[in-house]
């Protein structure tokens, strides 16, 4: 099962996106564990994830988070700003799959 961690400033703005992603995953018959946390919890949670996607407002933290994620062989990327703003679960899920090296 794919494990996708979303992180934003407080974890609140990504909660809708998590719901939209879960709905999309279910609609295509895939399985994924998707959850959101605030930036203060991101480092502690990333060991459980296959990939970490961060909100655009946290883009300045990407390199710092990637250094921590390298310990667990986890990739970090910034969520596409348009997909984030529109809570486009399909696009963000596909971004996560690409980051994991999976074809969608």
> What are the residue numbers of the active site?
8
User: What count of other Cβ atoms lies within 10 Å of the Cβ of residue 93?
Assistant: 26
Contact 24, 72 (CB under 8 A): no
């Amino acid at each position: 099962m794919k494990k996708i961690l979303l992180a934003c400033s407080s974890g609140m703005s990504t909660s809708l996106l998590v719901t939209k992603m879960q709905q999309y995953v279910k609609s295509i018959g895939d399985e994924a564990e998707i959850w959101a946390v605030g930036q203060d919890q991101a480092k502690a949670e990333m060991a459980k994830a296959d990939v970490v996607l961060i909100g655009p407002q946290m883009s300045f933290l990407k390199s710092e988070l990637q250094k921590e994620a390298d310990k667990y062989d986890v990739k970090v990327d910034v969520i596409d700003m348009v997909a984030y703003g529109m809570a486009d679960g399909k696009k963000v899920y596909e971004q996560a799959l690409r980051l994991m090296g999976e074809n969608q």
